[in-house]
Amino acid sequence: MNNILLYVGIDDTDSSSGMCTTYITCVIISKLKDCGFNITGHPRLIRLNPFARFKTRGNGATSFKLELKSLKEAEEVKKIVLENVQELSVLEDERTNPGVVFYNNKITPELQEFSLKAIRNIVSIEDAENLLNKVGADFYKFKNGRGIIGALAAIGCPLDDKTYELLAYRISENYGKPRQINHESVREMDKDTYPKTFDNLDEGYIAIEPHTPCPVLYGIRSENPEILMKAKSIVKVIEPVERYCVYLTNQHTDMHLQKVANIANMEKFQCYIVEGVVKDKPHVIEGGHLIFTLKDESGEIECAAYEPTKKFRDFVRELEPEDILRIYGGVGEGINKKGTLNIEKFELLELAIPLQLLNPICDCGKRMKSAGAGKGYKCPRCGTKIRDGKKEMIEISRNIEKGFYETPPSARRHLSKPIIREK
């Protein structure tokens, strides 16, 4: 008999007060290993639509695959997976609805499409269930089982572009306590491995460290799993690491973004690459958010660089009406619930040349002032008056150049491709 390739997908096991699907997956993998089952390749951490309504944090789902000798082995694996999901999930939280999928056939284009839909759009539990039945997958719903959406998407996701993340986990006694990571060693790791690892630091801030009560101690991101092992050996921690795992991911690939022909075709809760013209000068609103309007021949949309994007707003502030931009970002509910494009990064394609009308310059070299309506101009230095001086049109110099500008690591979405990866 041929070997059986079994895919396992898991999602929606955690709550905002604790736990993490990646941790549960890591525990399950080590229990499977203890029983003699080895997974093939790296497990996957797949990030789905950042606007999905029921996400806890980063909308991540996991999957892994095993090569098994018999159906009996497959049954044994299923039992171990389900027992652990049942035991470790935060089932008491009403928003936690785990789903587990087992699939032992080929990854079809239909499965890949479903996955892309879950990354770029909103899908229903029914959509997932219909497809699972159609392809003959085995699935388990705990409570309403919403997790089957992510579990199936994590199995089917095509990964032409990919990155890796090494996640180190804490012992349970330390959950919720301040993380004990030697920050100097993180800076050293960054110095030794950047740009092969990225998003380690953000100015002085240690970006590898989460700030939630979850089991993750830190996460290091890279295009190369070997570099992650080197990075791990440099980072010093002053608390025990219970376990760690290197995940293959779609993080930082821009997989969530769709090219859109024009602004009128954009919908709420989806993410896009869109070109347009700046309509008005960006202005600050309450909370420190920076807002402007982007227009094209089809319509216009409000764009925002929110307060957490910090210094990124300094670039957005430099934009002028008639600048031509390509914006990468997602349409959230936004201010006034009209839908606001949350900018992840932008490319300034063409700079407008803003002009300013200035008073004439006096013979003494000083710029003149208005002498009052219809009275011409007066020099504030030598007192010369002229009645019919002409205003002068000058170009305002710009403090920004053509090119890419992006949000800092601390404000970056898991799926956003950093500019360093574009090179």
Backbone CA torsion sign across 128, 134, 137, 139:
positive
Contact 66, 32 (CB under 8 A): yes
Give the interface segment with ligand ATP, choosing from 7-15, 65-73, 103-111, 388-396 (CB under 6 A): 7-15
Supply the minimum distance, in Å, between the C-beta of residue 292 and ligand ATP.
Answer: 29
**Is 122 one of the binding residues for ligand ATP (CB under 6 A)?**
yes
Q: Write down the least CB distance from residue 342 to ligand ATP, Å.
A: 17
Residue the block writes with tokens 């996955």: 115
Of the ranges 48-56, 103-111, 253-261, 344-352, which one interacts with ligand ATP (CB under 6 A)?
A: 48-56
Of residues 216 and 227, the one with the C-beta less far from ligand ATP: 216
21 near ligand ATP, judged by CB under 6 A:
yes
Interface with ligand ATP: number of residues (CB under 6 A): 23
Quick note: the x/- pattern for ligand ATP over 73-112, rule CB under 6 A, is ------------------------x---------------
Out of 14, 73, 165, 406, the only residue in the binding site for ligand ATP (CB under 6 A) is 14
Tell me the C-alpha distance between 303 and 346, whole Å. Answer: 11
Q: Which stretch binds ligand ATP (CB under 6 A): 54-62, 281-289, 379-387, 405-413?
A: 54-62
| Binding test (CB under 6 A) with ligand ATP, winner from 9, 43, 50, 58 | 58
49 binds ligand ATP (CB under 6 A): yes
Q: Is 146 in the site for ligand ATP (CB under 6 A)?
A: yes
Check if the beta carbon of residue 168 is closer than 8 Å to that of residue 371. Answer: no
- Tell me the β-bridge partners of 386: 377
Rule CB under 6 A: say whether 329 interacts with ligand ATP: no
Q: List CB contacts of 233: < 8 A, sequence separation 6 or more.
A: none
Q: Is 206 in the site for ligand ATP (CB under 6 A)?
A: no
Point out which residues pair with 293 in neighbouring strands: 302
Residue 11 within binding range of ligand ATP, rule CB under 6 A = yes
Phi, psi of 156 (to 5 degrees): -90, -5
Q: Are 112 and 103 in contact (CB under 8 A)?
A: no
Question: Is 293 one of the binding residues for ligand ATP (CB under 6 A)?
Answer: no
Name which position in 9, 43, 50, 60 contacts ligand ATP (CB under 6 A): 60
147 touches ligand ATP (CB under 6 A) = yes
Residue that is written with structure tokens 């029983």 in the block? 35
The span of 47-55, 257-265, 292-300, 340-348 binding ligand ATP (CB under 6 A) equals 47-55
Closest C-alpha to 10, from 159, 139, 119: 139
29: tokens are: 């993998």
At 232, list the tokens: 């791990």
Q: Does the protein bind ligand ATP through residue 20 (CB under 6 A)?
A: yes
Total residues found in the chain within this entry:
423
Residue position matching structure tokens 């390509």: 326
Q: Which residues contact 227 (CB under 8 A, 6 or more apart)?
A: 193, 196, 197
Pick left, alpha or beta for residue 374 (phi over 0 → left; psi -120 to 50 → alpha; otherwise beta): left
Q: Is 56 in the site for ligand ATP (CB under 6 A)?
A: yes
- Cis amide prior to 195 (ω within 30 degrees): yes
* Residue among 8, 26, 77, 149 that touches ligand ATP (CB under 6 A): 149
Residue numbers of the site for ligand ATP (CB under 6 A)?
A: 11-12, 14, 20-21, 48-49, 52, 54-60, 97, 118, 122-123, 146-147, 149-150
